[in-house]
Amino acid sequence: MFLSLFPSSLSCILQGAVAVLSLVVVSCASAQEGALSQLYAPRPPAGASYVRVVNPLPTVLAVRVAKGPVQRLGGKAPSGSYAIVPGGQRFAVLIDGKEVARMEVRPDSFSTLALRRDASAYAFTVIDDTADTEDALKAELRFYNLAAGCGAANLLLSPAGTPVFSAVASSASAARSVNPVRAALVGQCGDAKTAPQPLPQLEPGDHLSLFLTGSATSPQLVIQPSRTDPFTR
């Protein structure tokens, strides 16, 4: 009986090995295909810039930058992705389908347009997100003080209270590179603090935006990954 079972068992083992090998081959092929698709994907022309809108206002709005997608911004998702625009040329910003501004940014730059109300109209404060250098082995945190009436904002580790960013001016930002770690953060304006927010799992090269919104007496901290729109010809 042992001799009659052995060929069957050997056959099963060989079939399993072939299946595993097939999976490895498929995985390698898929990985190579993904790498090649990134390598040969269309790239923005020289001088292109990246622009996004962040809406710290209490109302969710439909926003479009240049030819980018329409994005509903506000609340727990105040920031849109970076649209690709021609640097040094004017482009339109639309809110709820209506053009509210024509903007221009310098070539090869990253910018965040912080939305605000100016009397009965919408207006933007341009915040330069361009990094002088980038450490591919670390993640970048960028903290924005967009809380109404908050002249200087802090970002602290929780519960230790260790400062990550200190005295960031109104409608301004600060950035730093960090090793990917697990931590919880709180935003602070004066004596008022936000609820602790955990950092998502970070990988080297990640870019994370941390927005202090709300008001000076009731600030809120919102964390979003920074994204760029894909380039299409």
- What is the tens place of the pLDDT at every residue in 38-77? 445 567 888 999 999 999 999 999 999 999 999 999 999 9
Look at residue 134 in the predicted model and tell me its pLDDT: 77
Among the listed residues 226, 233, 158, the one whose alpha carbon sits nearest the alpha carbon of residue 194 = 158
Q: Are 116 and 125 in contact (CB under 8 A)?
A: yes
Q: What sign does the dihedral 73-76-78-81 (CA atoms) show?
A: negative
Residues whose CB is less than 8 angstroms from the CB of residue 188 and which lie 6 or more positions away in sequence, other chains included? 153, 154, 155, 156, 194, 219
Look at residue 40 in the predicted model and tell me its pLDDT: 53
Q: How far apart are CA 182 and CA 170, in angstroms?
A: 28
Residue 173, token pair as written in the block:
């930002």
Q: How far apart are CA 42 and CA 157, in angstroms?
A: 40
Residues whose CB is less than 8 angstroms from the CB of residue 223 and which lie 6 or more positions away in sequence, other chains included? 185, 197, 199, 200, 208, 209, 210, 211
Each residue's pLDDT, cut to its tens digit, for the chain (233 residues) gives 443 444 455 455 445 544 444 444 444 444 444 443 444 556 788 899 999 999 999 999 999 999 999 999 999 999 999 999 999 999 999 999 999 999 999 999 999 999 999 888 999 999 999 987 778 899 999 999 999 999 999 999 999 999 999 999 999 999 999 998 889 999 999 999 999 999 999 999 999 999 999 999 999 999 999 999 998 77
Q: How far apart are CA 97 and CA 153, in angstroms?
A: 33
